[in-house]
Amino acid sequence: MNKILLIIQREYITRVRKKSFIIMTLLVPALFAAMFAIIAYVANDKDQTIHIVNVIDMSGNFKNRFTDQKFIKYNYLTQSLAAAKADLKNDDDLILNIPANPKDTAVLYAKKKTTLSLADNIQGQMNDIATGVSLVNAGIDTASLHKIKSNIIIKSNEITDAGEKSTNMAATYTLCFAGAVLIYMSLFIYGAQVMRGVIEEKTSRIVEVIVSSVRPFQLMMGKIIGVGLVGLTQFILWIALSAAITYFVGNKVTSIHSPVYTFVHSLGANAAYELCCFLFYWISGFLFYSALFAAVGSAVDSETETQQFMFPITLPLLFTYILSVSYLFMIPDSNLAFWLSIIPFTAPVAMMVRVPFGVPGWQMAISMSLMIVGFIFTTYIASRIYRVGILMYGKKASYKELAKWFFYKE
């Protein structure tokens, strides 16, 4: 045990002292702050281009009925389309030609390509105006119709044993995506660090000296846990720094304070539970996959040779991630979501999608138990391959060769 602790200490201290670790730890929150600052700047941009839409209304139904907006102004022309085209000087101005026959298509002219949002805005106003004209022609009082038009807003409440509580669906969906993305990315990033560490020690022959003092299993466990602690440290620092920066920027820029403030406070009492679930699946998923990454690293002599082994390992994770952001969040209680959150290969990502919606206790217990059992099992398999692979040089390993290594006697 003391030897494993020494290896953990060496891996941890060596990596957290690297310039790359310090730079990335500070850079990610800085980029996070820059992203919010850019969003705020763009949202409050006073110099955004104002488009003048010159309307030629041959039908007579749209004149003086368009509503000016922040960056779109309407001007009504009486001249011909040809004359209007000749007079169009500004590249940001447009000509909207509305034909006399409502069945004919209106055309928007400009000296450069029109953005989709601008065209949609004009089209939406035209549809509203045309609908109003049709209602008047049908003898329907549009003023009365607008008065009786409903504007229903649905508020979501969750019934719990402690009573009713308000739920924020936007925050719930954000948690789904954030949890799945963070787990998916971190397993690849830090698992790959374990693999690269094994390859470096193997190719530099340092491992030959190390294994004379410690058992291969101890070396593998120390490396996995050490890199895992590095990743956990970086995550905690990212969260702390990002929260501080968000709070500071949010107080300075009112346009982004409200959504950040609302999101944080919408988590409520479930925040601690969801954070604990995230930490468990992050740690257990990292240990589970890192053992396999370590086995891959011990079986090859360079990163270019890892592809044949990496794809089968990472395919379940990739498959679950794609399903999570496209399908599982819509039906978190389906049979597919249940089984994906139970199987250790897919549970770290799938369960993070389900947790914000509430997972029955017995399902959570089964999933967590299988994650622990899965880690122990994969560690055993990986250690059997690792003990032989770290001392093998110059020979390309195959799946058949890995099976032989597993059954070698010590």
180 and 111 within one domain:
no
**Cβ contact 34:245 at 8 Å:** no
Q: Are residues 241 and 370 in the same domain?
A: yes
Q: Are residues 104 and 173 in the same domain?
A: no
Q: What is the pLDDT of residue 169?
A: 59
Query: Quick one: 315 and 205 in the same domain?
Result: yes
> Is 309 a domain residue?
yes
381 and 282 part of one domain: yes
Q: Identify each DSSP E strand in 70-200 by its residue range.
A: 72-76, 94-98, 107-110, 157-160, 163-166
Q: Are residues 207 and 277 in the same domain?
A: yes
* pTM of model > 0.85: no
Task: Record the tokens describing residue 174, joined without a space.
Answer: 């954000």
Looking at residue 340, its pLDDT comes to 92
Judged against a pLDDT cut of 60, whether residue 166 lies above it is answered with no
What are the strands of the beta sheet with 107-110, ordered from one edge? Answer: 72-76, 51-57, 94-98, 107-110
Cα angle value 76/80/81 (rounded, 5°): 85
SS3 of residue 55 by DSSP: strand
DSSP 110: E
Stretch 16-43: mean pLDDT:
79
Residue pointed to by tokens 């601690």: 272
Say if residues 77 and 36 touch (Cβ distance below 8 Å).
Answer: no
118 and 175 belong to one structural domain: no
Query: Residue 337 belongs to what domain range?
Result: 167-407
- Assess if residue 162 is contained within a domain: no
Tell me, yes or no, whether 225 and 91 share the same domain.
Answer: no
Counted domains in the chain: 2
pLDDT in tens, 221-262: 888 888 888 888 887 888 788 777 766 665 555 444 444 444
As a whole number of angstroms, the distance between CA 63 and CA 151 comes to 28
CATH no. for residue 57? 3.40.190.10
Cα–Cα nearest to 237, from 21, 76, 18: 21
Residue 219 shares a structural domain with residue 304: yes
Q: CA-to-CA distance for 68 and 75, rounded, in angstroms?
A: 10
Q: Could you identify the residue written with the tokens 């002219």?
A: 109
Residue 80: both structure tokens together: 């011909």
The reply to whether 377 falls in a domain is yes
Per-residue pLDDT of 101-112, as tens digits, reads: 877 888 888 887
What mean pLDDT is predicted for residues 117-131? 87
Helices 216-252 and 254-266: crossing angle, nearest 10°? 130
Q: 116 and 188 in one domain?
A: no
| pLDDT one-digit tens code per residue, 290-301 | 888 888 887 777
Asked if the structure places residue 285 within a domain, the reply is yes
- The values of phi and psi at residue 11, to 5°, are -60, -45
User: Which DSSP helix (H) or strand (E) runs through 198?
Assistant: helix 169-203
User: Do 87 and 200 fall into the same domain?
Assistant: no
Q: How do residues 181-190 score in pLDDT, each as one tens digit?
A: 888 888 888 8
- Whether residue 98 is contained in a domain is answered as yes
Q: What is the pLDDT of residue 367?
A: 94
Residues 99 and 206 grouped into a single domain:
no
Per-residue confidence (pLDDT) for residue 257, from 0 to 100:
44
